[in-house]
């Protein structure tokens, strides 16, 4: 069946059976008596973390000073380059102790701007900040502290940049249109990033950051990256990023004390991702009441996991591919709904994801330990990382595709101590009995990409497991639209202590030859 008709067919079923699907505000569930010993304390810690963040991580009180860039010659006509005028307004505002630089009406064209401590850029309703389409208007920035982003990826350009600042903000309700289309910005052959495609927002080594009530559109690369920051609030943000390659939505790298709330992301690459290219830990992150659409991964930990990830709590989410009636430059299938992966060393632990809708996804759930080991040149290659103490529960959604979900480590690093509970998903089905013999590549050195693991169909229409231990499934209901001859679970080898509804998995699964 052609792709468009396949999506329309599945979407019609989803509308009929699950019309208006949205992440339900579920109550805190009762922990089953047979829950693993680690789950109760982990939950208590995460609930306390969420309550503490909500109570203490609030916008700072900033001075009432308001400066208009028109004072320094800005013209909001969409044609005049206002870089100097807006930067002067930012600098003077910071010099006077902080306040707001207000873009009040019209279209302000600008090149690269540097944010300063104590300053909020406010873009009024109906107003637009337009990124220059001329590469010479972007200042090359060399961070003081090298990271994988600056050394390996050569990231040096952004429209809005800050390093080592405190109390900065970007807020609407207006729009930032980065104008990052391929017509103006291209990628060097073979390069994931280059000095030819600026990020939208790049904030490094900073504290007390507020981004709220703002629309962001069409960066030439990643929309935004927050690297080694503390006390980061992102709320009521709308992102549409379908202009160029690697058009990610929101990347949070090595940050602590983070709230992401009431946020909508629609991106060609990964929508929401936590990374560790800064070699700093990502800790105490709360994600609540958000919609993440992507042609890559909708919600992701990885790829770069040079740092550790702890105490991540995400709830009330709507995840998956981009709906057909919305703009997409890279198709309408998500590679995965939820990806949790460590492939460059690093530990991922104490993660709770609950109350999520996943639709239009090839692999609804993808958990991965790999052994790529990417670091900066001259650094020793790290061993395989650790992925443990994860709970994924109360997951629903229809219109998913044939691949199935995968939980797989490597021999040197198992996926371990995982609970998957109350999952009710619909998928297209149509898998044949021959697919149970599909050889799923180990791909130890690969990326955290579900598409590298039998994207046309895993040996199970539900969950394929390999190199995994201490995995508990309960209340799993996955319904194929078309008959599917594959089993619900498939043991791909090197597994231990896998249970389904309290019983060993093997009687209800197919086991591959050892």
One DSSP character per residue, 116-165 reads: -TTEEEEE-TT-EEEE-S-GGGS-----SS--HHHHTS----EEEEEES-
CB 305 within 8 A of CB 324: no
Q: Which region among 6-10, 368-372, 439-443 has the lowest average model confidence (pLDDT)?
A: 6-10
pLDDT in tens, 306-354: 999 999 999 999 999 999 999 898 889 999 999 999 999 999 999 999 9
Tokens for 401?
Answer: 């595709």
The stretch 295-300 carries a mean pLDDT of 98
pLDDT at 176: 99
The stretch 170-183 carries a mean pLDDT of 98
pLDDT at 191: 60
One DSSP character per residue, 300-343 reads: EE-S--SS-EEEEEEEEEEEESPPTTS--SS-S-EEEEEEEEE-
Q: What is the CA radius of gyration of the chain?
A: 23
Cβ atoms within 10 Å, residue 80: 14
pLDDT at 195: 73
Q: Which residues contact 190 (CB under 8 A, 6 or more apart)?
A: none
- Exposure letters 412-434 (e unless 16+ CB within 10 A, then b): ebbbbbbbbbbbebbbbbbbeee
The stretch 360-384 carries a mean pLDDT of 97
Strand partners, 342: 369
Return d(Cα 332, Cα 313) in angstroms, integer.
27
pLDDT in tens, 191-214: 656 678 999 999 999 999 999 999
Return d(Cα 124, Cα 102) in angstroms, integer.
7
Q: Does 237 score more than 80 pLDDT? A: yes
Q: Does 77 score more than 90 pLDDT? A: yes
Tokens for 251?
Answer: 């990347």
| In-domain check, residue 243 | no
- Give CA angle at 58 (54, 60), nearest 5°: 170
- The residue ranking higher by pLDDT, 465 or 512, is 465
Q: Which region among 230-234, 294-298, 468-472, 505-509 has the lowest average model confidence (pLDDT)?
A: 505-509
Banded model confidence at residue 19, pLDDT cuts 50, 70, 90: very low
Return d(Cα 187, Cα 193) in angstroms, integer.
7
Return d(Cα 29, Cα 31) in angstroms, integer.
6
pLDDT in tens, 114-158: 999 999 999 999 999 999 999 999 999 999 999 998 998 888 999
pLDDT at 510: 52
- Give CA angle at 281 (278, 264), nearest 5°: 80
Cis peptide bond N-terminal to 109, omega within 30? no
| In-domain check, residue 254 | yes
pLDDT at 34: 83
The stretch 245-262 carries a mean pLDDT of 97
- Strands 503-504 and 495-500, how do they pair? antiparallel
Q: Does 48 score more than 90 pLDDT? A: yes
In the chain, the number of structural domains is 1
Q: Is the dihedral of CA 367, 372, 378, 380 positive or negative?
A: positive
Q: Does 15 score more than 50 pLDDT? A: no
% of the chain beyond a pLDDT of 90: 86
Nearest CA-CA partner of 245 in 277, 267, 217, 263: 267
Average pLDDT over all residues of the chain: 92
Cα of 295 vs its chain's centroid, Å: 12
| In-domain check, residue 282 | yes
| In-domain check, residue 439 | yes
pLDDT at 11: 44
- 3-class secondary-structure state, position 42: helix
Banded model confidence at residue 276, pLDDT cuts 50, 70, 90: very high
pLDDT at 17: 33
The stretch 268-282 carries a mean pLDDT of 97
- Give CA angle at 117 (112, 121), nearest 5°: 55
pLDDT at 507: 44
CB 101 within 8 A of CB 119: yes
pLDDT at 29: 67
Return d(Cα 156, Cα 68) in angstroms, integer.
28
Banded model confidence at residue 10, pLDDT cuts 50, 70, 90: very low
Nearest CA-CA partner of 278 in 191, 375, 164: 375
Return d(Cα 502, Cα 129) in angstroms, integer.
56
CB 323 within 8 A of CB 291: no
pLDDT in tens, 342-365: 999 999 999 999 999 999 999 999
| In-domain check, residue 146 | no
CB 135 within 8 A of CB 111: no
| In-domain check, residue 279 | yes
Q: Is the dihedral of CA 174, 220, 400, 272 positive or negative?
A: negative
CB 308 within 8 A of CB 346: yes
pLDDT at 76: 99
Banded model confidence at residue 188, pLDDT cuts 50, 70, 90: confident
**507 CB burial (10 A radius; 0-12, 13-18, 19+):** exposed
| In-domain check, residue 211 | no
| In-domain check, residue 166 | no
Identify the domain containing residue 22 by its residue range: 3-61+248-511
Phi, psi angle pair for 161, to nearest 5° = -130, 145
pLDDT at 514: 31
Banded model confidence at residue 33, pLDDT cuts 50, 70, 90: confident
pLDDT at 16: 35
pLDDT at 306: 97
pLDDT at 190: 61
Q: What is the helix, strand, coil percentage profile of the chain, to 5?
A: 15, 45, 45
Q: Does 423 score more than 60 pLDDT? A: yes
The stretch 176-194 carries a mean pLDDT of 83
Return d(Cα 29, Cα 153) in angstroms, integer.
42
Cβ atoms within 10 Å, residue 19: 7
């Amino acid at each position: 069946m052609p792709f468009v008709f396949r999506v329309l067919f599945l979407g019609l079923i989803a509308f009929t059976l699950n019309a208006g699907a949205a992440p339900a505000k579920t109550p805190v569930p009762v922990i089953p008596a047979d829950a693993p010993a680690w789950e109760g304390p982990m939950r208590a810690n995460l609930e306390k973390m969420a309550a503490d963040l909500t109570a203490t991580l609030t916008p700072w009180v900033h001075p009432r000073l308001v400066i208009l860039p028109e004072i320094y010659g800005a013209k909001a006509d969409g044609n005049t380059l206002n870089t100097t005028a807006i930067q002067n307004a930012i600098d003077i505002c910071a010099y006077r102790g902080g306040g707001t630089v207000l873009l009040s009406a019209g279209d302000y064209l600008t090149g690269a701007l540097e944010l300063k401590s104590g300053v909020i850029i406010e873009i009024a309703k109906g107003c637009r900040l337009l990124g220059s389409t001329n590469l010479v208007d972007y200042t090359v920035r060399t961070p003081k502290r090298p990271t994988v982003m600056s050394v390996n990826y050569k990231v040096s350009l952004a429209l809005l940049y800050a390093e080592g600042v405190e109390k900065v903000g970007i807020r609407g309700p207006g729009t930032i249109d980065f104008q990052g289309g391929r017509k103006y910005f291209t990628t060097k052959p073979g390069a994931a990033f280059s000095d030819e495609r600026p990020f939208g927002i790049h904030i490094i080594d900073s504290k007390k950051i507020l981004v709220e009530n703002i629309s962001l559109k069409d960066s030439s690369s990643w929309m935004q990256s927050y690297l080694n920051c503390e006390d980061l609030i992102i709320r009521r943000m709308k992102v549409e990023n379908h202009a160029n390659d690697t058009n990610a939505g929101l990347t949070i790298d090595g940050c602590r004390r983070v709230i992401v709330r009431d946020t909508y992301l629609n991106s060609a690459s990964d929508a929401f991702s936590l990374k560790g290219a800064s070699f700093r830990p990502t800790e105490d992150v709360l994600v609540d009441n958000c919609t993440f659409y992507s042609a890559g991964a909708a919600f992701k930990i990885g790829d770069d996991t040079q740092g550790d990830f702890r105490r991540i709590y995400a709830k009330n989410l709507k995840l998956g591919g981009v709906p057909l009636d919305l703009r997409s430059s890279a198709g309408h299938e998500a590679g995965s709904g939820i990806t949790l992966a460590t492939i460059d060393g690093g530990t991922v632990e104490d993660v709770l994801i609950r109350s999520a809708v996943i639709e239009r996804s090839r692999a609804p759930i993808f958990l991965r330990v790999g052994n790529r080991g990417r670091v900066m040149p001259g650094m020793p290659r790290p061993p395989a990382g650790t992925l443990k103490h994860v709970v994924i529960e109360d997951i629903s959604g229809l219109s998913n595709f044939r691949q199935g979900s995968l939980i797989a480590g490597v021999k040197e690093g198992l996926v371990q101590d995982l609970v998957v509970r109350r999952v009710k998903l619909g998928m297209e089905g149509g898998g044949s009995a021959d697919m149970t013999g599909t050889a799923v590549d180990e791909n130890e050195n690969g990326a955290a990409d579900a598409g590298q693991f039998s994207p046309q169909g895993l040996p199970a229409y539900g969950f394929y497991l390999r190199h995994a231990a201490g995995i508990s499934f309960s209340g799993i209901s996955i319904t194929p639209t078309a008959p599917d001859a594959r089993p619900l679970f498939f043991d791909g080898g090197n597994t231990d202590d896998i249970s389904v509804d309290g019983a060993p998995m093997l009687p209800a699964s197919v086991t591959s030859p050892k």
